[in-house]
């Protein structure tokens, strides 16, 4: 170091905590819709329609969550296959952005209405411990057949995400990022909500958001200006 020069500390992050959605935000896939496509075109269309209406805020998620899974009845093998899809469909720049945020001391959480067992592998690859992954547990019997899901999970409901974030006791300020109406609900407990529109642009969500983000590069710029 040159004599007399005082080292300049790195800029302080604009947010202490970042909460990320997974489906159509961290990864370019809607997990339950992907599973539905394995049941034929008709089921795929009907399940996708229910998902779109819930994400647009036209239907409460709790009205369709169990119905979708009951119709699909995904096996353990199919959920494992979905886990591979999550890893292959990671958003461009997401891994580098998450690593930079973690290096800067930002607390990170994944909060998703997706299936926990499918999300855990991609989360682990990105450095998230199980305690930082919040999603809906699916159950299987001894033969790997579908045996239900955690019906008590708040993440299977329309207003569940703010309940989960509130319970985490996140350090403020908090940035919540997602694409759907269930993500927008986090605006009530976050200092800023950003609509992520790289994979899905839902106009009601964008209009109500504090910010719009089109990439993880933009997310990184927002948090580490």
**Packing angle of the helix pair 216-223, 94-103 (nearest 10 deg):** 20
Helix axes 41-55, 61-72, angle to 10 degrees: 160
Where on the phi/psi map is residue 2: left (φ > 0), alpha (ψ -120 to 50), or beta? Answer: beta
Contact criterion met (CB below 8 Å) for 193 and 176: yes
What are the angstrom distances between the C-alpha of 125 and each of 90, 95, 117?
11, 9, 14
What positions carry a catalytic annotation?
Answer: 21, 23
58-61-64 Cα angle (round to 5): 95
Q: How many CB atoms lie within 10 A of CB 84?
A: 12
Phi, psi (5° rounding) for residue 26? -65, -35
């Amino acid at each position: 170091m040159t004599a007399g020069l005082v080292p300049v500390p790195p800029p302080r992050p604009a947010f202490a905590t970042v909460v990320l959605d997974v489906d159509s935000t961290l990864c370019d896939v809607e997990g339950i819709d992907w599973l539905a496509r394995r049941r034929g075109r008709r089921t795929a269309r009907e399940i996708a329609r229910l998902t779109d209406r819930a994400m647009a805020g036209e239907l409460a998620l709790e009205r369709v969550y169990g119905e979708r899974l009951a119709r699909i009845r995904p096996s353990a093998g199919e959920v494992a296959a979905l886990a591979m899809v999550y890893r292959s469909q990671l958003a461009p720049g997401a891994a580098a952005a998450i690593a930079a945020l973690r290096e800067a001391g930002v607390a990170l959480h994944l909060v998703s209405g997706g299936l926990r067992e499918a999300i855990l592998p991609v989360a682990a690859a990105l450095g998230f411990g199980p305690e930082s992954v919040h999603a809906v547990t699916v159950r299987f019997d001894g033969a790997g057949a579908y045996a239900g899901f955690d019906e008590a999970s708040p993440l299977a409901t329309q207003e569940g995400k703010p309940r989960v974030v509130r319970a985490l006791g996140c350090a403020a300020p908090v940035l919540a990022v997602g694409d759907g109406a269930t993500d927008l609900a986090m605006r009530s407990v976050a200092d800023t909500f950003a609509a992520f529109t790289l994979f899905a642009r839902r106009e009601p969500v964008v209009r109500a958001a504090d910010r719009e983000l089109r990439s993880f590069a933009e997310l990184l710029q927002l948090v580490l200006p």
